[in-house]
Amino acid sequence: MDSKELAVRLVRVGLDAHRRGQDYAIANTDTEVRGAGNAAVAATLEILGQHGIVTDVQPWIDETGIGFAYKTARLPDMYAGDNGVAQWVVASLGPSRSDTARAVAELRRDCEMVVTNRTYAEDLLASLGELDACFEHDCYIACLALSGKILEIALKQLLMDHQIQFDDGWMIGRLLRVVRENSIPRYLDPSLHQISEIINRSRIPAVHAVERVPVPSREQAAMVINAVIETVRRTVIAS
C-alpha cells in the first residue's frame, strides 16, 4: 500500500467514525492500516494534517497494540462511494496527482459547464470521474474500458450534431467508420483507429475471458486517455 492509498484508508476510517458519532477515529481499527505500520501511518497522518484533513493526532493503545487516534477536520460527502472518497482525498492532496489525472479532472470540470441538459451528461461525467480515480490507483484495465465508453459517447455526440443516424449498440470501430464515410468536417486524431484497437484488445477479453491479454502499462493507459481527452474536447466541448 503506497502513501496515497494509505491516506484514502485513513480518511475512510475517519468517515466511519464520524458516521458512528465518535469524536476520534482509531487508525488500527482498519487491518490494512494496521498492517502498514506505525511509521507509515504517522507520516501519512502528518501529510493529511498539513492539508487540513485531520487534526489532534494522539498516541493510542488498545488490544491491537500501539497506534494513533485522530480527529477528522474535513470529510467528503458522507454518502460518497469508495471512488468518491478516493477522488476527494487525491484532489485534496493536490500536488501528488499525475498530469494525466489532472487533465481528466480538468476535462470533467469543463464538461460540467456544457453538457448539463444533454441525455448522456450524467453518464459522461460519472465515467470521467471514475477514469480519474482508476488512473490514480493504477487500475489500467478499467482505464481502457472507461476510455472506450467515453470515446463512444464523444463519437455519438459528433454524429448527433451532424444529424447522422446510428445504432446505439455500435462500438468505436463502427462509429469511426461512419464518421469517415460521412466526411464530417471535424478534425479527429488519425491514430484513433489504433487507439480503438488497443481499447478493444483489453476491453473485450476482460468481459468475456476469451483470451489472455497483457495488462496495459501506465504509459499505454496514459496514451489512450490523452487521445480520448483530445477527442472529447473536439466533439463534446466544441459542439
Q: Tens digit of pLDDT for each residue in 135-172? A: 888 888 899 999 999 999 999 988 888 899 998 888 88
Residue 52 belongs to a domain with what CATH number?
Answer: 1.10.10
pLDDT of residue 114: 79
Answer with the residue of higher pLDDT: 48 or 86: 48
Dmax over CA atoms of the chain, in Å, equals 70
- The reply to whether 213 and 122 lie within a common domain is yes
- The reply to whether 39 and 126 lie within a common domain is no
- The reply to whether 110 and 221 lie within a common domain is yes
Instruction: Tell me how long the chain is.
Output: 239
Task: Name the domain count of the chain.
Answer: 2
- The reply to whether 227 and 151 lie within a common domain is yes
Whole-angstrom distance, CA of residue 139 vs CA of residue 134: 5
- The reply to whether 147 and 192 lie within a common domain is yes
Q: What is the mean pLDDT of the chain?
A: 84
For 200-226, how does the pLDDT look when each residue is reduced to its tens digit (9 = 90+)?
A: 877 665 444 555 656 788 888 999 999
For 106-126, how does the pLDDT look when each residue is reduced to its tens digit (9 = 90+)?
A: 899 888 887 765 668 888 999
- The reply to whether 195 and 135 lie within a common domain is yes
Per-residue confidence band for 238, with pLDDT thresholds at 50, 70 and 90: confident
For 177-204, how does the pLDDT look when each residue is reduced to its tens digit (9 = 90+)?
A: 998 899 887 778 778 888 888 888 776 6
β-pairing verdict for 54-62 and 65-72: antiparallel
Residue 88 in domain: no
Residue 83 in domain: no
- The reply to whether 54 and 115 lie within a common domain is no
Residue at a domain's end among 56, 72, 88: 72
pLDDT of residue 127: 93
How many degrees, rounded to 5, is the angle at CA 95 between CA 94 and CA 100?
A: 85
What is the pTM for the complete model shown?
0.58
β-pairing verdict for 25-26 and 65-72: antiparallel
For 43-80, how does the pLDDT look when each residue is reduced to its tens digit (9 = 90+)?
A: 899 989 988 889 999 999 988 789 999 999 887 765 55
Q: Which triple of cell numbers denotes residue 126?
A: 460519472
* 158 in Cβ contact with 179 (< 8 Å): yes
Residue 113 in domain: yes
- The reply to whether 212 and 163 lie within a common domain is yes
pLDDT of residue 152: 93
- The reply to whether 65 and 8 lie within a common domain is yes
Residue range(s) defining the domain that contains residue 39: 3-72
